[in-house]
């Protein structure tokens, strides 16, 4: 009796495993490319900004929303420095890099999980996006962020001047 239960459990587990690898689009995220950097950050490639990385599933929905917003505000966040120290530790050039490592020509996106572990990155992005949505210019937002984070935080990323 016990042996038949074990075999049934194995067959059931195997069928669940096979069904997760179907190519119906629902499980598409499981086929994304994921790597880990020397600093421990996870980078995951998805086919577009509309497809968020699977590493976000470990977080509250707000994290996914902020990642989506960051991707949609690329021009803004590429002009905003980050003050968490990621310029030195991870080679980031701006706050956008905390969320997205690369936008490829084919439309695919290489996401970075750095921001999921850093409140400074998240706060800077959220504050910048909120100010932008209220009609503030990128230049004004940059000045606001530089002023707020100039003391008590790490050196800013080497973000291009406006």
Instruction: Report the alpha-carbon distance of residue 94 to residue 148 in Å, rounded.
Output: 16
Residues 6+ apart with CB under 8 A from 42: 34, 35, 36, 53, 55, 112, 113
- Domain layout of the chain by residue ranges: 45-148
The model's pLDDT over 31-73, given as tens digits with 9 standing for 90+, comes to: 468 899 888 899 999 999 999 999 999 999 999 999 999 999 9
Q: Percent of the chain scored above 90 by pLDDT?
A: 76
With tokens 């038949």, the residue in question is 4
pTM of the shown model: 0.80
Closest by CA to 109, choosing from 48, 18, 41, 20, is: 48
Burial of 29 (0-12, 13-18, 19+ CB in 10 A): middle
- How many Cα atoms within 13 Å fall on the side-chain side of residue 12? 6
pLDDT for residue 9 is more than 80: no
The model's pLDDT over 113-157, given as tens digits with 9 standing for 90+, comes to: 999 999 999 999 999 999 999 999 999 999 999 999 999 999 999
What are residue 46's DSSP bridge partners?
109
Look at residue 32 in the predicted model and tell me its pLDDT: 63
């Amino acid at each position: 009796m016990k042996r038949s239960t074990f075999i049934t459990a194995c067959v059931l587990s195997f069928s669940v495993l096979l069904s997760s690898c179907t190519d119906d689009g629902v499980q598409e995220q499981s086929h994304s490319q994921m790597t880990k950097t020397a600093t421990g950050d996870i980078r995951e490639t998805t086919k577009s900004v509309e497809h968020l990385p699977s590493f976000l599933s470990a977080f509250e929905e707000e994290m996914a929303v902020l990642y989506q917003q960051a991707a949609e505000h690329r021009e803004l966040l590429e002009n905003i420095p980050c003050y968490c120290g990621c310029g030195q530790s991870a080679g980031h050039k701006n706050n956008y890099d905390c969320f997205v490592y690369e936008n490829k020509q084919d439309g695919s996106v290489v996401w970075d999980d750095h921001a999921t572990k850093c409140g400074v990155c998240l706060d800077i992005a959220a504050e910048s996006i909120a100010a932008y949505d209220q009609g503030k210019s990128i230049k004004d937002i940059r000045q606001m962020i530089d002023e707020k984070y100039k003391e008590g935080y790490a050196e800013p990323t080497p973000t291009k001047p406006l």
